Amino acid sequence: MRKQTNNEKKNMPLKSRKIMFFDIDGTLVESGKDTIDEDVLAAIQKARKNGHLMFINTGRTLSNLSEYLLTAGFDGYICACGTYIILDGDTILYHHTPDEVCRLVKEMSAKHDLDIIYESWHGIYFDPGELKTAAGAGLASELSGLYRVFKYIPDEGFNFDKFITWNREGSDLKGFIDSVSAHYDYIDRGNGFSEFVPKGFSKATGIQFVLDRLGLDIKDAHAVGDSTNDLPMLTCVPHSIAMGNSDPMSLFDMVEYVTTDIDKNGIINALTHYGFI
């Protein structure tokens, strides 16, 4: 079947053309998996055939997306919380972090005694010998079996797009946040787990960039997620959707619509509810 191009979609009446942005983990992909249910993929392709646009919007960097996800049939990808955006296979935005900022983060993470994993579009960096927490070491081991991983931190030419940390016993998280706050926004992921995103970037800024690029109105934008790190995109669109399996459940009070769990046709029900399929 011939793939429908975005140029053809642009010719649709704007009043009938909508766009949906999907988180990955807990939304499109169940915990412990890296594939999307076939019925869900079929529904997403049906929505595209109906002329609508389907985007992944994730905190994962490009290097943390499998070939499967990159070829699953989406119109585009907002990666690393809005710092790297792909449309129809072309990179249309990339935020490059200055080398001196990367060095600052490395120095301050050591000074304030934090576990840290650096994420870039071309790979994931960590020093296995410096990961002291079970959570940090566990994720590093999991990532090593799936994605392009560098098990060392270069002294020079070291660059990354965002990073995640875990508190050790005796960590000074507040001191670390203060030391990098001019460059990064802090997201508390709970249980001593933190995410840091370049200041001024988020899943919400990624959505606005895509809408502006495609000439779409925010009123036609929909977003679906399952956790607090999805709040920037859920609160920036008029049609926000929480998965039934969302954690925390307080997310339900912050969205327009609560769909069913990921394993109970949550995405299909959301697409149906909003008239995509």
Over residues 176-225, the pLDDT tens digits come to 999 999 999 999 988 999 999 999 999 999 999 999 999 999 999 999 99
Structure tokens at 84: 């790297």
Share of the chain above pLDDT 70, in %: 94
Place of tokens 């912050």: 254
Please indicate whether residue 108 or residue 157 has the higher confidence score (pLDDT). 108
pLDDT confidence of residue 229: 84
The letter for the amino acid at 257 is Y
Q: Look at residue 6 and tell me whether its pLDDT is greater than 90.
A: no
- The CATH number of 99-198 is which of 3.90.1300.10, 3.30.1240.10, 3.30.559.10, 3.90.1170.50? 3.30.1240.10
Q: Judge contact between 34 and 146, C-beta under 8 A.
A: yes
| Contact call for residues 116 and 129 (beta carbons, < 8 A) | no
What share of the chain has pLDDT > 90, as a percent?
87
Residue-wise pLDDT tens digits, 34-54: 899 999 999 999 999 999 999
- Per-residue burial over 80-112, b = 16 or more CB atoms within 10 Å of its CB, e = otherwise: bbbbbbbbeeeeebebebeeebbebbbebbeeb
What fold is seen in the domain 14-95+201-273?
Rossmann fold (3.40.50)
Q: Which pLDDT belongs to residue 102?
A: 95
CB within 8 A of 157, min separation 6: which ones?
A: 99
In the chain, where the domains are located: 14-95+201-273, 99-198
pTM: 0.90
d(CA 119, CA 160): 6
